[in-house]
Amino acid sequence: MTIERLQRRLEQSLSLLFPKETTYSKFVQPVRLTKTLQVLERKFDDLENSIPLDVKIFKTISKLEHSGFEQFTRRDWKNLAWALSKVLPDTQEKLIFNDIGKRIVQHFNQAEQSIINLVYFPLLYSYFALAKDDIAAKPAVWLTLRDILNRHKSNVYKSTQRPKQWMTTLIDHADILSDTPTKSFVKQFLQDDDKSGIQDELESLRIAPNSWFWDDLIKSSIQSIRQMNEKDYFKFIAPFIKLSEQNSLYSRDILAALLERYAKTSERDKVHETLKQMALDQWGNPQYDSSAGWNNVNPDTKRMVVQWFVKADLEAFFKLFSRTADVNRFNYWMKFIDKISFSQIFLGPAALNSQQASHRKFREMNRGRLKELIGSTQTNNAFLLKIDNVYVIDFSDTGNACYVVNKLPYREGNRRIHVDEIKPWPNLLKLNHISGWERRFDEKLAEIGIYHRKPQNNYYSSR
């Protein structure tokens, strides 16, 4: 006699002795007994749905091959359902994908409800036990199995007087057997710091750790980035970065989705240092065409990140390393930010060897991007900007002119650059920073077709 039947008989006997509405008003509720019953039920369920030994499963498959579905016992039917996610000896694929497996699934597709009630949980287990590579192309037999489970779940639930936890989970989460099985879990997944909440909730389904379900959950979460409103997006950046660190397999997709969505926000001109650093670590400098990783995002998003690097370089040059630099020059060159596709910093000995924490941090975060300036003073630094199709070179120490050339004046692979290489002759322009230099720079650059984005009249009237 099962526990369910024993409990039903006990409840029937009590109902004859006491009216249902007064039973618990006359007697104290048996709390400890109820808890004990729940423990027993759980153990019984685990025993009832325990995975049989492979040897028993393979024996049932052998029986099927020799005798067909005739005279199958209850255990045989269950073994067939459990077998679908197994790899038979001397085969290379899961049983569900070979001729025997397809035959089993088709038989269950036409089976009576009594058989489905018996094998439902083993079928459910096999459905989730497949890995993401197994169902990447959404094979027809897997979709048929899902249809069987979805079509019969309500009847299975109704046929049990005391539904199991896994039945309740399936009913509460109707999408789990649909084309969007993880849709309802995405927000919870992102808000769960250790990702254990969903695992606890779905524990009764006994979804395998390598199941396609977990891969779908992460991918659905990544796809949700593109549909988030701006407020939710900024709130979830940190959880997604953490998810990327925990699941390196998805780091590329996460980074691409975060950057694409950031490019559509009202704060795209504001540098996000963490995303900027992630992008540099994963895909390299976006200013180099050889950094193929940047093909993962569209050109406008790449342009946004390039501008982050340009702005960071100019801020470092004028505000971090160069105490003697004219900050007005920072403001001037920032007006060209939307036209700058490449920037390069050249650090002199003082900046390269400085032990200030902020200096060390910038050098560490930009390892591989910086060049050493030699042949000049200890304090002199330089920067190069590619604006449209020309290169602008300027220096931090006063007394140095600004140079404009039409090609890179040094070999790109060199790490140490002599100051004479970036004071090239011939050049398109040599501009001096004397009184009224901003207007004169505007005029001379305009002569070679270079204009900034701010109207000239507004700029000078404000000054």
As given in the structure block, the two tokens for residue 106 are 């088709």
**Cα–Cα dist 1/23, whole Å:** 26
**Cα–Cα dist 81/74, whole Å:** 11
> Where do the structural domains in the chain lie, given as residue ranges?
3-48, 54-172, 183-263, 317-462
Phi and psi at 439, nearest 5°, equal -65, -40
Please report the pLDDT score of residue 1 as a whole number: 52
Q: E strand or H helix at 253, and its extent? A: helix 251-262
Question: How many other β-carbons are positioned within 10 Å of the β-carbon of residue 309?
Answer: 21
Q: E strand or H helix at 353, and its extent? A: helix 349-353
Low-confidence residues in the chain, pLDDT < 50: 44, 46, 455-463
Strand bridging mode 371-374 / 340-347: parallel
Please enumerate, as own/partner, the contacts of 225-231 that have beta carbons within 8 Å and a separation of 24 or more: 225/257, 225/258, 225/260, 225/261, 226/257, 226/260, 226/261, 228/261, 230/265, 230/266
List CB contacts of 68: < 8 A, sequence separation 6 or more. none
**Cα–Cα dist 197/113, whole Å:** 33
Please report the pLDDT score of residue 190 as a whole number: 85
* Residue 90 half-sphere exposure toward CB, CA atoms < 13 A: 1
Please report the pLDDT score of residue 461 as a whole number: 34
Nearest to 261 by CA among 294, 296, 228, 238: 228
CB-based burial of residue 179 (10 Å sphere; 0-12 exposed, 13-18 middle, 19+ buried)? Answer: exposed
C-alpha Rg value of the chain to the nearest Å: 34
Please report the pLDDT score of residue 276 as a whole number: 94
3-class state of residue 210 by DSSP: coil
